[in-house]
Amino acid sequence: MASTFGKAFSREIGKNLGKAASNLIFGDSWSTPYRRVDPSLKERREARAALDRARTEQIEADRRIQEERLRLEQVALQSEIEIKRQQQLAALDSSVQSSINTILSSRIPSDKNGLVEELRVLSARMKATRFERGKSEETKIKNKEVEVLIERFRQCLEELMFVSPDDRHIPDFGKNLVKKQTEIKRKKGLSHLGTAALIVFYIVFIGGIICFSFAEESEAVAQISFAIIAVAIAVLLVWLIVLPITIAVSRAKGQKKYSVKEELKNGTSPEEAKHIEPQKTEQIIDEEEDVFFDLNPGNRIGKTLARIWSKYRGVVDAQLLERRPIFAADGVEDAILFVGVNPSYDARDDKRFIENEDGQSLLYGSFFGRKDSPAYFMNLERFAAQCGKRYAHMNLLYARENDRDYLLKISPDFIREQLELTYETIVLLKPVAIVFFTTYCRNLIFGADRWVDPMSFFDGHYTLRGTTIPVFFSEDVNGMDARSRNAFASQIIRA
């Protein structure tokens, strides 16, 4: 053991002496290397980590700011849409209220002839003003005018029955009143039927599902649940299939084949009926009842044109005023209105068009549904049918002139008064959409203080001032290729 200790001691002494000699001769160059810790390195790492955290936080903050900006833009857009909708509703309400005030402010005539004339005007307006199903604000506003018209019509009819109980017009006017009231009851009833069917479907279907959940416990419960679900499906089929068929059948009851001659004879004495020209009235039309209505009740358009033409004698070229103006006399329900700028001049038109009752203007009826319709109007009818609608046509102006640049320069007031008459007629017509052809039309009515405000553009179309009627400016559809027509039709359908 002593020898082992002695060997270990001598080795340790030798090792230490060797290290001391090595250090004395070579210094630290042969020593074991040690990595020294630099205090600044830790600070740099911490600073870098802090910078990374700051960048991450900035990116997150930028993301939140971007999301908030998009949210605010969406809120602003929704708010703008709602404001425009409210403005449109306000304009519609103002227009309807103005029409109602006009109806209510007029005095009910006390003489037979005045009452008959008033009832004819109200009858035309009732035909033109349709009662719509639904509970939207727009529908409620529109339906107010129908209700007021019916009430005024009823009051005038009662007065006529008191003044002249044997008047030959009373049965026809009575039919018009009953027909309109029946139409409203039918639409309200169908609306309630559809709602009730949908509610019953949900109740029964949910009941069937609840029973089905207990089907494993009893076979009888399973059979009952299947029966309940079958009833629910039957109710749904009633709502989806039977109800539309009921509506179609109900509408079909009003369809008939009639001649224009008979319509013109209606309300005319036998002696007066003899003078109706057969070549202008024997066209047979197979179309829904009440598709057409009078745009010129009481010679409204004819009287206004006669006043304008008389007023501007000496201001407008006499040769232009010698040409009797031409206007559209027939309105068509549920129609797309195509509008040109003015009728061209052809001396032969004085014989081809119908002379107005005062002899100072010419008029034309609708070609809708006629087999002898000119190709131009037939193409308009096909395009409107592509959109699921009928069509109507008129011009902005009534003066017959081929040089439109000349026409539009002769007198701004002469043009303005014609445009005012056309605007009133369009409001009476109530088209589902308006298509204005040519840049002449656009230049006449497009502007911040005109019919079509540039700021009214929304969802691919403009809106006619004071109404909710969609407005489109387009080239004539007769000049479009098939692809362009299809695209334009889709645009109108979306409106």
* CB contact burial 360-369 (16+ within 10 A = b; e otherwise): bbbbbbbbbb
Top-confidence range, 80-84, 137-141, 244-248, 471-475: 471-475
Check whether residue 238 and residue 275 sit in a common domain: no
Within-domain flag for 54? no
Within-domain flag for 29? no
Domain end marker among 243, 267, 288: 288
Please determine, for residue 391, whether its predicted confidence score (pLDDT) is greater than 50: yes
Within-domain flag for 383? yes
Within-domain flag for 49? no
Q: Give the pLDDT confidence score for residue 332 in this predicted structure.
A: 93
Check whether residue 236 and residue 267 sit in a common domain: no
Which domain, by its residues, includes 284?
A: 255-288
Please determine, for residue 125, whether its predicted confidence score (pLDDT) is greater than 60: yes
Within-domain flag for 479? yes
Check whether residue 230 and residue 267 sit in a common domain: no
* CB contact burial 238-273 (16+ within 10 A = b; e otherwise): bbeeebeebbeeeeeeeeeeeebbeeebebeeeeee
Q: Any idea what the CATH number is for the domain that residue 315 is in?
A: 3.40.470
- Average pLDDT for residues 110-120, to the nearest whole number? 82
pTM of model > 0.75: no
Q: Give the pLDDT confidence score for residue 416 in this predicted structure.
A: 95
- Average pLDDT for residues 103-130, to the nearest whole number? 78
- Average pLDDT for residues 274-300, to the nearest whole number? 58
Which two three-digit tokens encode residue 229? 């679900």
Domain end marker among 236, 254, 272: 254
Check whether residue 328 and residue 404 sit in a common domain: yes
Specify whether the backbone of 134 is left (phi greater than 0), alpha (psi in -120 to 50) or beta: left
Check whether residue 318 and residue 204 sit in a common domain: no
Q: Give the pLDDT confidence score for residue 343 in this predicted structure.
A: 92
Check whether residue 490 and residue 464 sit in a common domain: yes
Check whether residue 278 and residue 312 sit in a common domain: no
- Average pLDDT for residues 68-75, to the nearest whole number? 81
Residue 305 and residue 398 in contact, taking contact as beta carbons nearer than 8 Å: yes
pLDDT tens-digit readout, 131-187: 776 667 777 777 787 788 888 888 888 888 877 777 778 888 888 888 877 777 776
Residue 411 and residue 312 in contact, taking contact as beta carbons nearer than 8 Å: yes
Check whether residue 225 and residue 335 sit in a common domain: no
- Average pLDDT for residues 294-305, to the nearest whole number? 93
Q: How many CB atoms lie within 10 A of CB 59?
A: 10
Check whether residue 269 and residue 322 sit in a common domain: no
Within-domain flag for 11? no
The number of domains in the chain is 3
Check whether residue 238 and residue 261 sit in a common domain: no
Domain end marker among 233, 254, 275: 254
| Location of structure tokens 């026409």 | 407
Within-domain flag for 132? yes
Q: What are phi and psi of 283, to 5 degrees?
A: -65, 125
Check whether residue 417 and residue 323 sit in a common domain: yes
**pLDDT > 70: percent of the chain:** 70
Q: How many CB atoms lie within 10 A of CB 189?
A: 13
Within-domain flag for 33? no
Band of pLDDT at residue 255, cut at 50, 70 and 90: very low
| Residue 392, C-beta contacts closer than 8 angstroms, at least 6 positions apart | 328, 330, 331, 332, 335, 336, 337, 338, 366, 368, 429, 431
Check whether residue 196 and residue 282 sit in a common domain: no
Q: Give the pLDDT confidence score for residue 62 in this predicted structure.
A: 81
Which two three-digit tokens encode residue 442? 């656009």
Residue 259 and residue 281 in contact, taking contact as beta carbons nearer than 8 Å: yes
